[in-house]
Amino acid sequence: MSKKVGWSFWWLWTIAHVIGSAVLPLLVWQDPYDLRSRIFLNEILQGIGVSLAQSMVLRDRFTKEGWWLPLSLIGWTIGMTLIFFVPSLSIHVHLSNFPPMTLLIIDFAIIGTIVGICQWQLLKSFRTGGLWLFASPIALSLSIFGLQLGYMAKSSALATALQGVIYGAITGLAAIKVLRSPKILPKSRKQ
């Protein structure tokens, strides 16, 4: 790690999430796509945008940053596949009496958990790396409230930007805590 991780990192991380969340998804909120396709494409593009944004901010601050993007994209792909294409594996089957907002929170928690596990592979060498396993699903599931506010204001740009603010702010705090913690030294083997 060559640069400090503090409040300037948090601001940069959060702003990067807003940009990563909003720029690419704006391409799919056009008429040629039906609603389900728009939601699916939005989440794919948002996953790519956020993963790229996180990688850019981690550059020069984290020695294994080169693996962050591929592992993040793998996590988003697996999570999205479970939620959209394998409904029998999704929690929807057992929660059909829950309101749609609750289902979205649960779906995003599932995606956040899978993304968090993939990213944790790089963070587990830090003493507080396990915090990421909680921060990722909590942040992504709470980001639904940003989406809801934006959609209530009838603005898809505002919805994705607010989602990025919430996701970035929460994971940014966790990233600071994790990256500031000491690394766990490997145990030496007795011969």
Domain definitions of the chain by residue range: 7-180
Distance CA 178, CA 130 (A): 8
DSSP-based three-state secondary structure for 166: helix
pTM of this structure: 0.86
Q: What is the CA radius of gyration of the chain?
A: 17
pLDDT of residue 1: 46
CB 119 within 8 A of CB 71: yes
Q: What is the pLDDT of residues 35-49, one digit of tens each?
A: 556 666 777 888 889
- Kindly give the parts of the chain with pLDDT less than 70: 1-3, 25, 27-40, 87-99, 188-191
pLDDT of residue 97: 61
